[in-house]
Structure 1
Amino acid sequence: MNADLLAAASDGTAIGYPLLFGLVLLGSVVPVVPTGAVVGAAAAFAMTTDALGLPLVLAASTLGALAGDLITFAICRFGGPSAVRWVTRGQHAERIDEVREQFRRHGWQIVVTGRLLPAGRIPVLVAAGALAYPWRRLVPASLLATFLWALAYALLGVVSGGVFDSPLVATLIATVLVLAVGGVLNVVGARRRVPAPVTRRPERCESA
């Protein structure tokens, strides 16, 4: 996947930016593409070559993620129960209910934090669709959320590109960094969602 991105970018920006936008959009709707790794790889490639520009990489990543989130929201709002089940496959019902209650209280702040937290995006968009959250509030909140998301992953690519001169090495290292950070965040998030076991104090034996 990253090799295809590099090859397309080397052929010209007319291919590289649409490909970046399309991959992020696809991964934001159907989780078959590690979108963070794509953004990090593109940023690393932009740091080590002149084929891509870092500001346009950030813009294409932001717009691709924004379009994907809005499509997912529209599916949850207008697609009916079967479409919602398709979007929420692999998600815990308790998590979605919890986010829905938080959404009622915090609104757009949940849209922003949901994009940045591990496994937070889908429950937030499902809750927004179920509550018929207004487009006029969702779009600016999602734009801010996707920009911060793209910026975070692009920075990992910038770090990699600033250390390594080879575009291939920088891209590979950026991909590994993104996947490693994502894995750590997922583990931390999973542990925070697991309730702590209830400990019982041992009963004291009284002597006769």
Structure 2
Amino acid sequence: MNWTDPAAIGYPAVFGGVLLGSIIPIVPTGAVVGAAAAVATTTDHLSLPLVIVLAVLGAYVGDVVTFGIPRLGSEAAFRWISRRQPAERLEKARDQFTRRGWQLVVIGRLVPAGRIPVLLAAAALSYPWRRLLPAALVACVLWATAYSLLGILSGGIFDSPLIATLLATVLVLLVTVLLNLVSRWRRKTKEKV
């Protein structure tokens, strides 16, 4: 392997960073994708379609693992969650997953800090694998595309890969903060009603 070739480092970093961040939320996965897309847009070192494919694969595998671990021990996960929730709230959650689980999975992936609670709840409530897998794939494609677009935007503004990468990271962080503020505002509005 030629370690001086940016692709030798870039592609594994995209896949590995997104996979790790999808299982253990310590890596800002959106920033990884946005930065890689910015580099792909401003240089010949990375291919944008391959960046998107690797981001989708890393996110998808991470989401399946995040869902799969508690799902395989769903009785224990359900007991753990049910100790902290009233029975009527659990039934309401089960009903929501029955009626529109795929939407919850997709929205959970797109909303900052929404993916893990949604996947854990789905696993604890025994949401079927046959429904989770296609919903998670759609969610990961939308997510990778959205964050790649932020990288493309920053790469289109600046020719410098460094500046484009920094701008993509800042844009991802701003979108994350904005979505968190909107989510908080919506929760407070619902609580008042």
Structure 1 length-normalised TM:
0.79
For residues 144-181 of structure 1, what are the alpha-carbon distances to aligned partners after superposition, in whole Å with 9 as ceiling and x for unaligned? 10000000010000000001000000000010000001
Q: Are positions 1:186 and 2:173 aligned together?
A: no
Contact residue 23 and residue 62 of structure 2 kept, 8 A: yes
SS of the equivalent of 2:136 reads helix
Instruction: Name whichever structure is richer in helix by fraction.
Output: 2
Name the % identity: 60
1:1-208 mapped onto 2 (5 Å cutoff) = 11-79=5-73, 81=76, 97=90, 99-194=93-188, 195-197=190-192
Q: Which amino acid aligns with 2:166?
A: L
Question: 1: CA distance between counterparts of 2:102 and 2:29?
Answer: 23
Segment of structure 1 superposing worse, 150-159 or 10-19: 10-19
Question: 1: CA distance between counterparts of 2:51 and 2:31?
Answer: 13
Larger Rg: 1
Q: Which consecutive residues of structure 1, in runs of 5 or more, have no partner in the other structure?
A: 1-7, 199-208
Cα gap change, 1:100 to 1:37, in 2 (>3 Å)? farther
Number of residue pairs aligned between Structure 1 and Structure 2 = 184
Contact residue 97 and residue 127 of structure 2 kept, 8 A: no
**What does residue 206 of structure 1 align with?**
none
Question: 2: CA distance between counterparts of 1:37 and 1:128?
Answer: 26
Contact residue 14 and residue 55 of structure 2 kept, 8 A: yes
User: Please, what is the CA RMSD of the aligned residues?
Assistant: 2.6
Contact residue 49 and residue 167 of structure 1 kept, 8 A: yes
Cα gap change, 1:82 to 1:131, in 2 (>3 Å)? closer
Structure 2 length-normalised TM:
0.85
Q: Residue 31 of structure 1: CA displacement? A: 0.8
Q: Which consecutive residues of structure 2, in runs of 5 or more, have no partner in the other structure?
A: none
Contact residue 103 and residue 124 of structure 1 kept, 8 A: no
